[in-house]
């Protein structure tokens, strides 16, 4: 099988299949990681306002010496900015030091109301998250369409949107989201969401492909056995899984050796892809990202705590 180096989105643009994730990269780490990654062939960086490191990410991009227009930059509208998308966007543009993004995503279908406790992660006096459950996500998307029309973002999309949320958004969208960035790996293959998005021309992007902090999926015996068979590290199997399926994948690393090896993908046999696809159904289902938003986000398998 010929592996796709790029994935085409509904604007016609091509996204490099493998991007560098930047969440939880500590201060002083991500600038070098981004610069190293770009010098070593990455052309796709996944950022977000809430990661608190976009200024370093932007510096790393400039340090690489590779022209801005050769790099695909994604950022995300944070939950506190649903009523003022243009303002959230400006903050990311300023931090990154660029005048446009290649892709801007609504980070979660959740609106947080800022208060004196915090500008980005506000809580109520009782300690629960300051969530506005009455907020209409269609209004957020209307504003996303407005910023798209300004040319400051070349494509718009969503992250963490389940089928019921997309169904609701469909009632009003005039621009179909280009991407739905979700947690995706063999323990959480999201087959129904994938089929749904495929039918609408929405591409999936896989976050936490290694299982997030500490890369726990790498120690699974089936993944390890497959890695041994191909003579590659387990991370390569987990990243190749997506590239073989035409899905964008954004592994995070701040280690130069791992950044380099994470781009080296292999062609997996049909049989092995079927095995990886079936792992969750065969008893290994697990979602690793379950933030306390206080309500069910509509994923079939969402079993995160429902208390805020
Ligand atoms: N839209 C959303 O809500 C959302 C949510 C989560 C993540 N994301 C995006 O997706 C990106 C990736 O997800 P993630 O950061 O949660 O987790 P991930 O990429 O699945 O895993 C990152 C962890 O794996 C380690 N690692 C990376 N490559 C490795 C390798 N080859 N061998 C061994 N360990 C390796 C990293 O440590 P080192 O850095 O030390 O290598 C880090 O501990 C994020 O950084 C972010 O950009 C988006």
- Using H for helix, E for strand and C for coil, what is the string for 91-138? HHHHHHCCCCECEEEECCCCCECCECCECCCCECCCCCECECCCCCHH
Residue 51 falls in the annotated catalytic set: yes
Evaluate if residue 300 carries a pLDDT over 90.
Answer: no
Q: Is residue 120 part of a domain?
A: yes
157 lines ligand 1 (CB under 6 A): no
CB atoms within 10 A of CB 110: 20
pLDDT at 17 over 50: yes
Tokens found for residue 22: 């930047």
> Which of 100-104, 127-131, 166-170 is predicted with the least confidence, judged by mean pLDDT?
127-131
Q: Which CATH number goes with the domain that contains 169?
A: 3.20.20.100
Task: Report the pLDDT value the prediction gives residue 1, as an integer from 0 to 100.
Answer: 73
What pTM did the predictor assign? 0.97
What is the chain's mean pLDDT, rounded?
A: 94
Q: Read off the pLDDT band of 296 (50, 70, 90).
A: confident
Question: Is 300 contained in some domain?
Answer: no
Please list the residues that pair with 21 across neighbouring strands.
Answer: 46, 252
In this model, does residue 305 exceed pLDDT 60? no
Residue 289 lies in a domain: no
Q: Which domain holds residue 144?
A: 6-284
Please give the Cα distance from 193 to 294 (Å, whole number): 22
Residue nearest to atom 34 of ligand 1 (CA): 215
The reply to whether 290 falls in a domain is no
Predicted confidence band of residue 26 (pLDDT cuts 50, 70, 90): confident
The pLDDT score that the predictor gives to residue 302 is 52
Residue with tokens 């389940």: 162
DSSP structure class, residue 173 = -
Beta strand residue intervals within the chain, DSSP E = 6-8, 14-16, 20-21, 44-46, 72-77, 103-106, 156-159, 179-183, 203-207, 248-249
Report if residue 297 sits inside a domain. Answer: no
Per-residue confidence at 11, pLDDT binned at 50, 70, 90?
A: very high
Both tokens assigned to 75: 């950022």
3-state SS assignment for residue 14: strand
Residue 291: pLDDT band with limits 50, 70, 90: confident
In this prediction, residues 242-258 reach a mean pLDDT of: 97
CA-nearest residue, atom 8 of ligand 1: 207
Task: Please tell me which residue in 51, 104, 165, 241 is annotated as part of the active site.
Answer: 51
Q: Greater confidence, 237 or 308?
A: 237
Number of independent structural domains in the chain: 1
114: which residues sit within 8 A by CB, 6+ positions away? 80, 120, 122, 130
Mean pLDDT score, 111-136: 94
User: Would you say residue 123 lies in a domain?
Assistant: yes
Ligand 1 neighbourhood includes 64 CB (under 6 angstroms): no
Average pLDDT score over residue span 208-235: 96
Residue 306: per-residue pLDDT: 37
**Is 136 a domain residue?**
yes
Structure tokens at 235: 């991370």
How far apart are the CA of 210 and the centre of ligand 1, in A? Answer: 6
The confidence band for 290, taking pLDDT boundaries of 50, 70 and 90, is: confident
User: Coil, strand or helix: which one is 37?
Assistant: helix
Is 68 within a domain? Answer: yes
Q: Are 297 and 162 in contact (CB under 8 A)?
A: yes
What spacing in Å lies between the alpha carbon of 235 and ligand 1's midpoint? 11
Distance CA 119, CA 122 (A): 6
């Amino acid at each position: 099988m010929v592996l796709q180096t790029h994935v085409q989105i509904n604007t016609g643009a091509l996204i490099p299949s493998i991007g560098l994730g930047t969440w939880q990269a500590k201060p002083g780490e991500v600038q070098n990681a981004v610069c190293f990654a770009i010098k070593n062939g990455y052309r796709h960086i996944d950022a977000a306002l809430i990661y608190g490191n976009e200024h370093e990410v932007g510096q790393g991009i400039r340090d690489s010496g590779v022209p801005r227009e050769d790099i695909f930059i994604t950022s995300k509208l944070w939950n506190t900015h649903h009523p003022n998308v243009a303002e959230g966007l400006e903050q990311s543009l300023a931090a990154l030091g660029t005048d446009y993004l290649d892709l801007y995503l609504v980070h979660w279908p959740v609106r947080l109301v800022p208060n004196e406790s915090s500008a980005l992660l506000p809580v109520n006096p009782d300690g629960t998250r300051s969530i506005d459950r009455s907020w209409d996500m269609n209004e957020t998307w209307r504003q996303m369409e407005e910023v798209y029309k300004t040319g400051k973002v070349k494509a718009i999309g969503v992250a963490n949107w389940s089928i019921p949320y997309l169904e609701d958004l469909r009632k009003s969208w005039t621009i179909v989201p280009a991407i739905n960035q979700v947690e995706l790996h063999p323990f959480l293959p999201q087959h129904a969401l994938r089929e749904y998005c495929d039918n609408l021309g929405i591409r999936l992007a896989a976050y936490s492909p290694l299982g997030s902090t500490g890369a726990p999926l790498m120690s699974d015996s089936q993944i390890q056995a497959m890695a041994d068979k191909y003579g590659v590290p387990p991370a390569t199997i987990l990243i190749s899984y997506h590239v073989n399926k035409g899905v964008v994948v954004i592994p995070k690393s701040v280690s130069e050796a791992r950044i380099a090896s994470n781009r080296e993908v292999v062609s997996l046999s049909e049989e092995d892809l079927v095995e990886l696809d079936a792992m969750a159904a065969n008893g290994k289902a697990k979602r690793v990202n379950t933030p306390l938003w206080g309500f069910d986000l509509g994923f079939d398998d969402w079993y995160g705590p429902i208390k805020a």
